């Protein structure tokens, strides 16, 4: 997490859909907030000491507020419940400056935005930005039902409503998103941006790769990775290449946690292998990748690792730390 934080106040908390609240954050002391680009997120420091990344889902042209939206997760690790239950209007929070790990590609001729559920949040900012700059785009918004889909009224009354299609899986079969059909015959200048839960992302990315979309045109951000299977974890050791120190990583303990106990801090945010914050260079050894951030090519190359979740196949990993 970034050391410099911004004090903000919750100016408005609103129910946007079943299980989804939005929070409008304004600077607690001065008028404006640092600018951000579409796809950016902030790390929110929550009551109880947790830190969670949330995408900014208002127009990037705004500097008087940030808006985030949070789905209350049935299997919450604490973050979404804290946001829903412990953060009310007028609450003070500390957040990081915006960071963008999911930016729009400025060279693209056209943009195809695919949202699954709460994954609409960064894509909403993208749709706003693309509409403002007059770029060619389409947004497909998939959710289980209308009542579980946030911001539908806002989208339907926006200036880009005619470029949006809603797909509700509890509705008529023909309204569900046909991924294979949508992604068939990819145009060379079109970039695809997808955000949603792991199952949705797996389907979209597998569909795109099967239809020949190149990795450079696939941009994605996952919400909530499936919990990693830890039963077969083995212990290994990490050699810090810059200092020569060796740190043991027991089974059931992440590299980040083992290094933290040894006094070596690696910046983290999601701690699930989805945001890229903890990415570290591997100098030697073989990573066992468990993240959903690196591309299959990057994982195969073995020169990068997300140590918040990934482990080692070799007895020792040498990291550029």
For residue 65 the two structure tokens come to: 């507020």
Q: DSSP label at 79?
A: H
- Taking the least distance from each CB to ligand FES, the nearer of 56 and 274 is 274
CB of 170 to ligand FES, least distance (A): 32
Contact call for residues 60 and 36 (beta carbons, < 8 A): yes
CB of 309 to ligand FES, least distance (A): 6
Under rule CB under 6 A, residue 129 binds ligand FES: no
Residue 33 CB-half CA count within 13 A: 28
- Taking the least distance from each CB to ligand FES, the nearer of 236 and 293 is 293
CB of 58 to ligand FES, least distance (A): 23
- Total residues binding ligand FES (CB under 6 A): 14
CB of 298 to ligand FES, least distance (A): 13
Compute φ and ψ for 251, nearest 5 degrees. Answer: -60, 140
The Cα 297–Cα 266 span in angstroms is: 24
- Taking the least distance from each CB to ligand FES, the nearer of 67 and 289 is 289
CB of 296 to ligand FES, least distance (A): 16
Of residues 250-309, those binding ligand FES (CB under 6 A) = 268-271, 273-278, 291, 293, 306, 308
Task: Write each residue from 214 to 253 as x if it is in contact with ligand FES (CB under 6 A), else as -, in one continuous string.
Answer: ----------------------------------------
Place of tokens 């042209």: 61
Q: DSSP label at 201?
A: H
CB of 28 to ligand FES, least distance (A): 26
For the range 28-33, what are the long-range contacts, defined as Cβ-Cβ under 8 Å and sequence gap of 24 or more? 28/92, 31/64, 32/63, 32/64, 33/6, 33/8, 33/63, 33/64, 33/65, 33/66
CA distances, 57 to each of 6, 42, 43, 69, 243 (Å): 18, 11, 14, 7, 42
- Taking the least distance from each CB to ligand FES, the nearer of 130 and 238 is 238
Binding site for ligand FES (CB under 6 A): 268-271, 273-278, 291, 293, 306, 308
């Amino acid at each position: 997490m970034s050391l410099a934080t911004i004090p903000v106040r919750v100016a408005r908390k609103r129910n946007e859909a079943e299980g989804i609240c939005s929070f409008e954050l304004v600077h607690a002391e001065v008028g404006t907030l640092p600018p951000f680009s579409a796809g950016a997120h902030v790390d929110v420091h929550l009551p109880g000491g947790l830190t969670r990344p949330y995408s900014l889902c208002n127009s990037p042209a705004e500097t008087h507020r940030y808006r985030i939206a949070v789905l209350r997760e049935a299997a919450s690790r604490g973050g979404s419940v804290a946001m829903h239950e412990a953060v009310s209007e007028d609450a003070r929070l500390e957040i990081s400056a915006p960071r963008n790990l999911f930016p729009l590609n400025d060279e693209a001729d056209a943009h195809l935005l695919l949202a699954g559920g709460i994954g609409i949040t960064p894509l909403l900012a993208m749709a706003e930005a693309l509409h403002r700059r007059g770029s060619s785009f389409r947004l497909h918004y998939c959710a289980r039902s209308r009542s579980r889909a946030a911001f539908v009224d806002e989208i339907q009354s926006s200036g880009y409503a005619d470029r949006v299609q809603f797909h509700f899986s509890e509705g008529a079969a023909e309204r569900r998103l046909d991924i294979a059909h949508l992604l068939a015959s990819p145009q060379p200048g079109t970039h695809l941006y997808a955000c949603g839960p792991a199952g949705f992302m797996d389907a979209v990315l597998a569909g795109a790769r099967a239809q020949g979309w190149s990795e450079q045109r696939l941009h994605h951000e996952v919400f909530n990775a499936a919990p990693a299977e830890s039963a077969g974890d083995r212990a290994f050791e990490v050699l810090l290449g810059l200092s020569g120190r060796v740190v043991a990583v027991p089974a059931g303990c992440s590299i980040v946690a083992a290094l933290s106990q040894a006094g070596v801090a690696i910046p983290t945010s999601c701690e699930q292998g989805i945001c890229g914050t903890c990415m570290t260079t591997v100098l030697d050894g073989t990573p066992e990748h468990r993240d959903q951030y690196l591309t299959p090519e990057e994982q195969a190359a073995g020169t990068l690792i997300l140590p918040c979740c990934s482990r080692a196949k070799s007895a020792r990993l040498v990291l550029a730390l």
